[in-house]
Amino acid sequence: MLKYSIYCLSFSDEAYGFYPNIIFFRRDFMMIKEKLDEIRAAARKRIEGSLDLEKLNAARVDFLGKKGELTAVLKGMKDVAAEDRPKVGQMVNELREEIERSLEETKKRLESAAMEAAMAKETIDVTLPAKRRPMGHRHPNQIALEEMERIFIGLGYEVVEGPEVEKDYYNFEALNIPADHPAKDEQDTFYINGEMLLRTQTSGAQVHEMEKGRLPIRMISPGRVYRSDEVDATHSPVFHQVEGLLIDEQVTFSDLKGTLTQFAKELFGADTRVKFRPHHFPFTEPSAEMDVSCFKCGGKGCRFCKGEGWIEILGCGMVHPHVLEMSKIDPLKYKGFAFGVGLERIALLKYEIDDMRLMYENDVRFLGQF
């Protein structure tokens, strides 16, 4: 504490007149000291009460920042007597160091506590049983595809994949689909430019295989195809097909019927019956659609088959001679048959799914059933 000679004087009018500023300076000094004590107490309470680093940083700004409490005190130094300024500056600096020390100690304590909490969460008790993780399931499309591949591989076929971005020639012209055919309308096909498109069928892979000239050919070509359809319970702009092709000498329509009958029996059950109805496809002649007896009612008629007893599953036919010629295969020596089936249609029928959209919504409640 400073000792002032004013204590030895009488507080008379004469004293006040002789030393007019000493008492004024003394009062300013005491007021600043009291203010610093208030700041010390407030800072201690704020710092010790900080529960996280964010609140601690806010306390640092409030007391030590450019607009903080201590800075405000220093800005008022101009009103303090010149002989008192060193003492006031010393007290402010000591308080600043005290607050900074307290802030640093509290910061270390909070960081240590946060680290301990994080480590506690990461602690692994090897004696506890492992957490059960949900297991994924094969998609119904994939299940149906693997079943179809198993059947045809067992019949001597190989699985061949083709490009999804295809030339117009392979998707249409090489399959005997002329330029003015309705299937080439842009309402049905996604064209990239005049020559390239997203394939509307996997038959293009068959043309690529025929052009290699390695005969005989026994193949199926599964894959994703694209058509400009509205999304509803039975349609989608993106779906999957499995198309098959066999080319060899002395192949007849009877071979086609026998192959597809065996396929239907293995896929839907040994009691399954089939029937073929005349149809038209540009790339096969003659052409047909194949129905199977309803595997729910055995052909008696039910809600599943709409009372008809039969369910259409695919289109087929003998490869058109012009298609063979375009791939440089002699149609007088070689014959062939082809067929195509929608993979989603097989999955919907086999697993009694009534809405195609369920196949693509990734609802685990639906997929978990498979």
Quick: pLDDT tens for 254-298.
999 999 999 999 998 898 999 999 999 999 999 999 999 987 777
Q: Is residue 268 part of a domain?
A: yes
Which among 122, 157, 190 is the end of a domain? 122
Do 328 and 193 belong to one domain? yes
Last residue within a domain, chosen from 89, 122, 155? 122
Sign of the torsion formed by the C-alpha atoms of 71, 75, 76 and 77: positive
- Are residues 180 and 215 located together in one domain of the fold? yes
The answer as to whether 133 is a domain residue is no
> What letters, b where the CB count within 10 A reaches 16 and e where it falls short, cover 234-250?
eebeebbbbbbbbbeee
Domain assignment of residue 28, yes or no: yes
Same domain assignment for residues 145 and 225 = yes
Q: Is residue 31 part of a domain?
A: yes
Q: What is the CATH number of the domain that holds 248?
A: 3.30.930.10
pLDDT tens for 176-213 read: 988 887 767 766 889 998 899 999 999 999 999 999 98
By three-state DSSP, how is residue 337 classified?
strand
Residue 202 is given by DSSP the state T
Q: Is residue 131 part of a domain?
A: no
Residues 65-117: tens digit of each pLDDT: 877 777 777 777 767 777 777 877 788 888 888 888 888 888 888 888 888 88
How many structural domains compose the chain? Answer: 2
Structural contact between residues 342 and 290, judged by C-beta atoms closer than 8 angstroms:
no
Residue 167 pairs in a beta bridge with: 196
86 domain-assigned = yes
Q: 108 and 177 in one domain?
A: no
pLDDT of 26 above 70: no
Q: pTM score, two decimals?
A: 0.62
Chain mean position to CA 12: 89
On whether the CB atoms of residues 289 and 257 are closer than 8 A, the answer is no
Residue 213, domain member (yes or no):
yes
Q: 71, 95, 122 — which closes off a domain?
A: 122
37, 72: one domain:
yes
148 shares a domain with 285: yes
* Amino acid identity for residue 61 in this structure: V
Cα dihedral 214/199/361/365 (nearest 10) = -20
| Domain housing 255 | 140-367
Does residue 162 sit in the same domain as residue 118?
no
Q: In which element (H, E) is residue 117 found?
A: helix 85-122
132 in a domain, yes or no?
no
